[in-house]
Structure 1
Amino acid sequence: MSKPSFFQRSELTQVLWSFRREFITVGIFSMVANVLMLSPTLYMLQVYDRVMVSQSELTLLAMSLITLFLFGIMAFAEWMRSRLLVRTGVQLDTALGTRVFNASFESYLGQSSSGPARAFNDLIQIRQFITGNGIFAFFDAPWAPIYIAVLFFLHPMLGWLSIGFALVQMALAWFGHRRMVEPSEEAAKATSESSAYLQSKLRNAEVLESMGMVHNLHPHWADRHQKALALQSHAQSLTHRITAWSKFIRYAQQSLSLGAGALLVIDGQISPGAMIAANVLMTRALAPIDMMVGTWRAFIAARSAFDRLETLLRDYPERDAALSRVAPKGALTLRKVVASAPGRKTPILKGVSTTVAAGTVTVVLGPSGSGKSTLARTMVGIWPDVSGEVLLDGLPIESWDRTELGPYLGYLPQDIELFEGSIAENIARFGKVDSDKVIAAARSAGLHDMILRFPKGYDTPIGEAGGLLSGGQRQRIGLARAIYGDPVLVVLDEPNANLDDVGEAALVRTVQGLKEAGRTVLLVTHRPGILAVADRLLILRDGQVQADGPRDQVLAAMRATSAAAASPPGTAVAVQPA
């Protein structure tokens, strides 16, 4: 019988629960350390009430040695629990690193507001919290009643005084939580948005500088920055106010506990040694609560990071590792596909249906804004908001494990993204570099001779985002990457946009070679030179299929339509059936 959903743990909670033995061990070491914290109190009592009265140096030596031994055990327990928590933090990162990496990239493709960097920052924040001082307050707090019980043993008045201060500090912690959560989260969000806005503009620094746009963009960034500063100032003001009240309560507690002890000594109810010990003991009893107040902001940040990570892992679950499919052949089917985008009232693709047989070349044509690039992304399964069916060999493309499917797909986006590394690493998709496959892909893309002219050949570094290459070179390296490993389905989005005549001729030969090898090719273009190798044409207009079929049939129909539009009214135009 399955458990109710109330008792079902999230993936992140399950991972943390898997470290319960480590946390229990930390709790045991915390118990030892906190119990031995009574050693200074007992030592003071013995020194003031026994050694000072008996004047026995031997008793003082024995008590000092015993106390030093207990201090050694306490220090060992403190060191062990710190070391265990640090090791647990590393294991937590190891257990979740790959999952967060994969889920964060999926969320970024899904146009989520938080990207991979934010997700890893959340993981680091959780790891730092469970290895920092804040977590010790939660392990030490359950032992505060023991110290308070000892205070009651010394005198009930001291016990009730410690309870009163504990309640005041707990109220302050609750007040701080209620007042600080929302401002801290808003400040963190605004700071992140301001930083992300600036980073996105720095990626296009050359364009901004060349056209004098930096000055125009500064006010837009300044508005975001000033908003973040105002929210940070408000959150920090609350933090400082609560910290000031916490200090006042702590100092008042130290002084009033000493004054109460002195009053009891005057009345003869406790000894001077008990007065000093009670002061130290009360400070120790309230230290965990005081530490909670001091680390409350870190706790709020860690809790927010936990909630975001929990949502991320829930929305983008791990693929079934045991699921393995037969290698696809490249047959692609779209059924009533509708692709939308946030902030857009009408869909980009409006019920597109088509069938692409394996081993054929389909060229997608259409005016700008007709949805060609969106169609290309939909075909490889990376457009986030899609309804309808995109089937690869009869199976939904989103059901494939991307790591398993990746080698069978080749994709060249309109905006070429290369990565810092060598030419060979980029062509090999940053996997294990197979020299034969890299050279074969470069030859197919007409790139081999050009690469050999570079100083280090295939080992030539290309810089961040391929900044050391021209647009045409980046496009041809992207093409070689797309066909690396002989994928069965290749989708090329404007592959000849930056190519000269020689490059376009090499592209035609590449597509012809893929066709002869029985690979499925979908090619988005505006230029007619590539039509010679096309088997089918798919023409889009305003997100809808205007024409779809064999190349010659579609071209004949288009010519007939153009002729009819150009003919004078009343003139009949004969159109031969395909």
Structure 2
Amino acid sequence: MAARRLPAPQGATPGNARAGGSPATAQGVMDIARGEVGVAARFTLWLGIVLALAGFALTVSKMTIWQVVLPTGDPWTLAGLSVLVGIAIAMNVALDQLREIGLLALSHRLARRMAAPLVMAAAKQQGRSDISAGQALRDVEELRRNLAGPVLTGVVDAVIVPLLILLLLYFHWAFAVFALALCLLAAVLSLVGERLTRRALVASNDAHAQTSGLVADAMRCAEAVEAMGMRHNLAARWEARMDDSATALRGAQNAGRWISAALSTVSGIGSGGALVLATVLSANGANIGMGALVAMLLMWQIIGPFTRLGGAAADWAGALASWRRLQALSQADRGPDTGIAFPCRDARLVMERVSYAHRGAPRALLRDVQLVVEPGRAVAISGSAGAGKTTLLRIAVGMVKPSAGACFLDGQSTSQWQREDFAHHVGYLPQDPLLTDGTVAEAIARLAAPDMQAVMEAARLADAASMITALPLGYATPIRAEGPLSAGQRQRVALARALYARPKLLVMDEPAAFLDAEGEQRLVRLIRRLSAEGMGILFTSHRPALLAAADRVLLLRGGQLAPAPAIPAIAGPTTTGPKAGRRAGEAA
């Protein structure tokens, strides 16, 4: 039966990992991110300056009312100036809303452009790529939140403060000194308050986590707790943890209240103190003109950014740490998929003197591995945990480059193959049968628009068709983290995904890890049937029934492959005759 070609993703071309016009590399997206942040900073700065001018216009309007209308009492002048005040207030509100909407749009665009390339870069990392990808998403969200939040606007507001202090200096140097002193006091109080509050919140969260863990443990062992009369002792411990959490939380709230009150007092001193200072200066013969009113009206705008400095500093530190992590991730990215869609006639897999060592490891995990998987032959690899079986399979499918040697599919290096085209020829079942959200049909179709004929054929090949049709919605059944599929059913769907479009080579990592005895026998029959139909199969397992289904069994020990001992005969139904009792052939 001819292999069915998988449909290419929309907008995808060989060697190009772009999606929707996004950059192909994480480094490229970080370069764009710098430009986006620069645009956001300039946008915020210019709007901040216009807002400051609008605020100054509002202040001038109020001063004019005080200076012109009060002595004359002219109602028409008052009406005209009131209109000007209303316009200034409306401009302030409109510009502030425009700034928030603009920053929100910029932050969403930045997150949308950064997320996919950086997560893909994290997925290529060695080790726990799921943790790296999760951290990358959290870092992108941290940047988005800070770009749209008060951090950037607070920085711009603080940049405008020197201009306002220069305006106060124009009236009298004492106003500028007074404003600087209050800014310094507000900054110190805000930073100290943030530190005290954060420390208390950390203690409260730790105590709460201990309480939650204690309750979870008790729920898991509810019968033992009840049978052994541990309820009262458990409740006493729970109450003690709750008291610790509540005490720490009260400390955080008290610290926050006191600091908030102190900052409010500083702001009040700013307005009232400016008036007192103006009175003292006037009494000593200083000509300050309208300086008292200007200082009183501008003082809150000068002190405001510094009262928020503590929270902004913490947010800024978090955003900077996220940026550095993403920058390091982008620098470690191997770059876009520049592989080639080689022709594949037989899908003959050959490993030539493959060695692999983790970075910094004292010894190699794999050493001079020689392996050949011929079409129509099933090769099983056994070995203890940590022997390197999974790494060997990842090298076979081109996800990991060997430290030495090479792995070839029909004479072409698997690591140089274009990934989408490679998936047409090689199906891969990882040890963890993770299925993303979607329907069963979408999962089997590898998240492309399902070709139902190919989907049903893959399910039939995986011996999962009857299981899928028995689901509540059949192929339309949604797959979620806590959905209707058991671990064994998920593995069978993942196997159907690997067999989608009927690849010529099937690579499976512990395919029976979540299967019961019946599922194991189904898998044995599947291996024998597919190899009889000409498909090459490479898999790892320690189960005798699966090892007996292979044409060759190799043992991975000490980083090298060697023929495995004879597999004892396994009773059970077969389709092509038992292969039990066979010994492994040569590794190459």
Please classify the TM superposition score into its range, dividing by the shorter chain length.
0.7 to 0.9
Give the partner amino acid of 2:97: W
| 1:323-342 matched pairs, under 5 angstroms | 323-326=339-342, 329-333=347-351, 335-338=353-356
- The alignment of Structure 1 onto Structure 2 pairs a total of residues equal to 537
Aligned to 1:430: 447
CA contact (8 A) 2:566 2:583 kept: no
1:539 to 2:555 alignment: yes
Aligned to 2:531: 515
Distance 2:341 2:197 in 1: 47
1:129 to 2:129 alignment: no
CA contact (8 A) 1:330 1:519 kept: no
Aligned to 2:540: 524
Aligned to 1:446: 463
Aligned to 1:147: 164
Shift of the 299–403 alpha-carbon distance from structure 1 to 2, 3 Å rule, reads: farther
Distance 2:225 2:552 in 1: 44
CA contact (8 A) 1:419 1:465 kept: no
Aligned-partner SS, 1:432: coil
Give the partner amino acid of 1:337: S
Shift of the 373–141 alpha-carbon distance from structure 1 to 2, 3 Å rule, reads: closer
Shift of the 152–488 alpha-carbon distance from structure 1 to 2, 3 Å rule, reads: same
Aligned to 1:353: 369
Distance 1:457 1:79 in 2: 49
Aligned to 1:42: 60
Tell me the CA shift for residue 53 of structure 1.
1.9
Tell me the CA shift for residue 86 of structure 1.
1.1
RMSD between superposed Cα atoms in Å: 5.0
Aligned to 1:88: 106
CA contact (8 A) 1:134 1:292 kept: no
Give the partner amino acid of 1:295: A
Taking only the aligned residue pairs, the percentage that are identical comes to 25
Aligned-partner SS, 2:138: helix
Distance 2:271 2:505 in 1: 74
Shift of the 64–246 alpha-carbon distance from structure 1 to 2, 3 Å rule, reads: same
1:51 to 2:61 alignment: no
Unaligned runs of 5+ in 2: 1-26, 568-577
Distance 1:235 1:140 in 2: 28
TM-score by length of 1: 0.75
CA contact (8 A) 1:536 1:549 kept: no
Aligned to 2:87: 69
Deviations 1:266-298 (A, max 9, x none): 445457854233211222223233333453322
Deviations 1:10-49 (A, max 9, x none): 8535413145345423322221110121123322322233
- Which stretch of structure 1 is more off in the superposition, 285-294 or 125-134? 285-294
Aligned-partner SS, 1:295: helix
Shift of the 37–381 alpha-carbon distance from structure 1 to 2, 3 Å rule, reads: same
- Which stretch of structure 1 is more off in the superposition, 442-451 or 28-37? 442-451
Aligned to 2:492: 476
Deviations 1:218-274 (A, max 9, x none): 99x999999999999999888777656544543333332221012234445457854
The structure carrying a bigger helix percent of its residues is: 1
CA contact (8 A) 2:378 2:537 kept: yes
- Which stretch of structure 1 is more off in the superposition, 450-459 or 394-403? 394-403
Give the alignment partner of residue 263 of structure 1, picking from 280, 288, 301.
Answer: 280
Distance 2:470 2:96 in 1: 62
CA contact (8 A) 1:423 1:460 kept: yes
| 1:167-178 matched pairs, under 5 angstroms | 167-169=184-186
1:493 to 2:494 alignment: no
Distance 2:61 2:218 in 1: 67
CA contact (8 A) 1:47 1:273 kept: no
| 1:314-393 matched pairs, under 5 angstroms | 314-315=331-332, 317=333, 319-321=335-337, 323-326=339-342, 329-333=347-351, 335-338=353-356, 349-359=365-375, 360-366=377-383, 370-380=387-397, 387-389=403-405, 391-393=407-409
| 1:169-318 matched pairs, under 5 angstroms | 169=186, 246-267=263-284, 269-270=286-287, 274-315=291-332, 317=333
CA contact (8 A) 1:126 1:306 kept: yes
Unaligned runs of 5+ in 1: 1-8, 560-578
TM-score by length of 2: 0.74
Distance 1:86 1:187 in 2: 30
Give the partner amino acid of 2:102: L
Aligned-partner SS, 2:308: helix
Distance 2:129 2:381 in 1: 29
Tell me the CA shift for residue 96 of structure 1.
0.8
Give the partner amino acid of 2:511: P
